[in-house]
Amino acid sequence: MKTLRDIELAGKRVLVRVDFNVPMNENGQITDDLRIRTILPTLRYLIAQQARVILCTHMGRPKGQRVDKYSLAPVAAYAADLLGQPVPLAPDCIGPEVAALVNGLRDGELLMLENLRFHPQEEKNDPDFSRQLAAVADVYVNDAFAVSHRAHASVVGVTAFVKEKAAGFLLQKEMEYFHRSIDNPQRPLVAIVGGAKVSGKLEALENMLARVDAMIIGGAMANTFLKSQGYPVGASKVEDDLMATAAALLARAKEQKVKIYLPVDVIAADRFAPDAVCKQVTIQDIPENWMALDIGPASVICFNEVLADAKTIVWNGPMGAFEMEAFARGTMALAHTVAASHALSVTGGGDSNAAITLSGEAYNISYMSTGGGAFLMLMEGKELPGITALA
């Protein structure tokens, strides 16, 4: 896989797939610019190398239709402010008007194409659409790790129609941290896996079982594991159809001598609401009509001891419903522990990163991956289509 530094860029038209699908409020103001800021090193390098830079990205889910609220105009303006130079927005992402604007670019200038997903062919990886995207480029650069698990035209299809292709600095960094944390980690390697559903992370759990020295499971998905072991979980969220799978996973871990740590106590509530009645209970004592919504303080102590000796920590998924203050303490406590550790710490997934940012520890984590689904696919042991397309 080539990187930017492997290619002569001066004077070349460089199509860069970025992920500028950033959250915006009702007034069209960007509320979180992380995805834009993480791409800046690549863009500044391209500008310094006197490339002619063409940015392409999606925004939202317009379902193949032109929808005004998903226009990239606010994103182009924001990127221009950060870069200190104009980033004009093309009226479309393919067609003669786009070609004319690209032909008018001078060395070191930028152009942003309009939302790729205004065309249904983007998500279908349509060859003709891919060819039209590539028609304006001499070089293709993928710097959108967050969508590299998608076999879309701008991620995969376009690579068949360009002379040269390479990974951007962000994509390169993401893969380097994957190698250091999962593929070839310093040991002990401890995985923290949380979130709502076992079903969404079953393949990751099974693959990581062969890689980790210990695994911590929290969040609502822990309820399925607890119930599979005979613990009463009240009205907690459970995937009953996966209880046998959860039990088998725990048995396999025991056979492989990999320790899996489940909560020993929880914060239970009479309902899922900010003003719910809450109390700390052991996992044996969850009231019949109550639900577990966070790990308890004893679980935090237990999990902290597991993390104390770790040399590598990989975290995907919160320990509870951290969006509500009453159920955020477990996740926040682990965030502080991971941040204070001497381990290489890598987090992935929107909820995990949002929780760590909320804890104030974002700058103390070794690396926060920009991709949720892509990060999870790597945890599953699968190849990313967007990476293999660059080979």
pLDDT per residue over 17-66, tens digit each?
999 999 999 888 999 898 999 999 999 999 999 999 999 999 999 999 99
Among 140, 170, 200, identify where a domain stops.
170
Question: What gap in Å lies between CA 331 and CA 339, rounded to an integer?
Answer: 12
Among 170, 197, 220, identify where a domain stops.
170
The answer to whether residues 268 and 296 belong to one domain is yes
Among 146, 170, 194, identify where a domain stops.
170
pLDDT tens per residue across span 193-211: 999 888 889 999 999 999 9
pLDDT band at 266 (very low <50, low <70, confident <90, very high): very high
For tokens 């004077």, the residue is: 11
pLDDT band at 330 (very low <50, low <70, confident <90, very high): very high
Residue 18 has what pLDDT?
98
The answer to whether residues 339 and 224 belong to one domain is yes
Residue 196 has what pLDDT?
87
Q: What is the mean pLDDT of residues 126-142?
A: 98
* 391 occurs within a structural domain: no
The answer to whether residues 228 and 312 belong to one domain is yes
What does the CA dihedral 346, 350, 355, 356 come to, rounded to 10 degrees? Answer: 30
The answer to whether residues 250 and 340 belong to one domain is yes
**Which of 148, 128, 131, 155 lies closest to 56 in space, CA to CA?**
155
Among the ranges given (15-29, 75-89, 114-128, 150-164), the one the predictor scored with the smallest mean pLDDT:
15-29
What residues act catalytically? 35, 197, 350, 373
* 364 occurs within a structural domain: yes
Question: What gap in Å lies between CA 207 and CA 6, rounded to an integer?
Answer: 33
The answer to whether residues 78 and 163 belong to one domain is yes
The answer to whether residues 160 and 195 belong to one domain is no
Q: What is the mean pLDDT of residues 363-377?
A: 93
* 369 occurs within a structural domain: yes
Q: What is the mean pLDDT of residues 324-341?
A: 96
pLDDT band at 349 (very low <50, low <70, confident <90, very high): confident
Q: What is the mean pLDDT of residues 141-162?
A: 97
* 177 occurs within a structural domain: no
The answer to whether residues 148 and 293 belong to one domain is no
The answer to whether residues 164 and 272 belong to one domain is no
Question: What gap in Å lies between CA 208 and CA 269, rounded to an integer?
Answer: 32
The answer to whether residues 361 and 213 belong to one domain is yes
Mean pLDDT of the chain: 96
Q: What percent of the chain has pLDDT above 70?
A: 100
Residue 32 has what pLDDT?
87
pLDDT band at 351 (very low <50, low <70, confident <90, very high): confident
* 178 occurs within a structural domain: no
Q: What is the mean pLDDT of residues 289-317?
A: 97
Residue 371 has what pLDDT?
87
Dig out the tokens for 385 from the structure.
């289509």
The answer to whether residues 136 and 211 belong to one domain is no
The answer to whether residues 134 and 201 belong to one domain is no
Residue 114 has what pLDDT?
98
pLDDT band at 383 (very low <50, low <70, confident <90, very high): very high
* pLDDT over 90 (residue 218): yes
CATH number at residue 233: 3.40.50.1260
The boundaries of the domain holding residue 363 are: 185-379
Of residues 44 and 353, which shows the higher confidence score? 44
Count: domains in the chain:
2
The answer to whether residues 13 and 155 belong to one domain is yes
Collect all residues with Cβ–Cβ distance below 8 Å to 196 and sequence separation of at least 6: 219, 220, 221, 237
Q: Is the preceding omega at residue 188 within 30 degrees of 0, hence cis?
A: yes
Residue 57 has what pLDDT?
98
